[in-house]
Amino acid sequence: MDSHTVTNYRTAQDLHQQALRQGILDDASNLLLREGLQALSMRRIAQMVGCSTTVLYTMFGSKQGLIDELYLKGFAMLRQALAAVPLSDDLLEYLTTLGQAYRAFALANPTYYAVMFCQTSPEFTPTQNCIQQSWSSFELLVSTVQACIDAEVLVEDNPQEVAKMLWGVVHGHVGLELTGHFSNSTIAGERFDRTIGVILTGLTRKQPSIEA
């Protein structure tokens, strides 16, 4: 067996392991959302996926390790979705497009989104390491807001605070949509864009000071 054959074999093994891992995470996230954490046993997941529990423990260490990975996988997918948004010279348009990408990710991956943000079970609390890693998804928004402030597009001077305001508005709309309050997706999308537009318009104008 030559080195080329060995390399191909190892590549095929790695691809198989990645596919298996992704399948496990997808099945586990669906089960978690449907039935809660109490249904998420390693034996149950092994039966669903068609592998032994030994494979699961080898991959994830424990049930908590598997849930932690679901949490981190969701944020990694979100970072990829946001990073894929094309850069634009129009910074406000770029911010709007980032918001649209966030919404599209949530609607396309509701189970991961639930694990990330909706506290699917009070028994699951992300580790501090998971929380710290999840905040890296927030960095692109903060840096874009900072660019808007530097270019004097926005009148605010605190990028972290502005980013959290925008995130709060986007997350609130997406949460209502995912829970069925905005059943018409087309209208919900139009409402979402209008909402972002109103918020950004407000952030580009100095507000009158309130006299004591």
Last residue of a domain, one of 61, 79, 109: 61
Last residue of a domain, one of 26, 41, 61: 61
Same domain, 98 and 203: yes
Question: What type of residue is 25?
Answer: L
Same domain, 89 and 171: yes
Same domain, 40 and 103: no
CATH number, position 32? 1.10.10
Same domain, 164 and 202: yes
pLDDT in tens, 5-34: 556 667 766 677 788 888 888 888 888 778
Q: Identify the residue whose tokens are 């104008």.
A: 205
pLDDT value of residue 122: 60
Same domain, 122 and 41: no
SS (H, E, C) 37-101: HHHCCHHHHHHHHCCCHHHHHHHHCCHHHHHHHHHHHHHHHHHHHHHCCCCCCCHHHHHHHHHHH
| Two tokens, residue 132 | 């710290």
Domain that holds residue 146: 70-212
Q: Is the pLDDT of residue 3 over 70?
A: no
Rounded CA gap, 179 and 131, in Å? 24
Same domain, 210 and 130: yes
Same domain, 43 and 112: no
Same domain, 41 and 146: no
Same domain, 130 and 206: yes
pLDDT in tens, 83-95: 999 999 999 999 9
Same domain, 205 and 113: yes
Rounded average pLDDT over 28-52:
81
CATH number, position 102? 1.10.357.10
| Two tokens, residue 194 | 């209008």
More confident residue, 175 or 29: 175
pLDDT value of residue 212: 45
Query: Which of 32-36, 154-158, 203-207: highest mean pLDDT?
Result: 154-158
Rounded CA gap, 80 and 84, in Å? 6
pLDDT, averaged across the chain: 85
Same domain, 24 and 78: no
Q: What's the total number of domains in the chain?
A: 2
Same domain, 47 and 93: no
Last residue of a domain, one of 11, 42, 61: 61
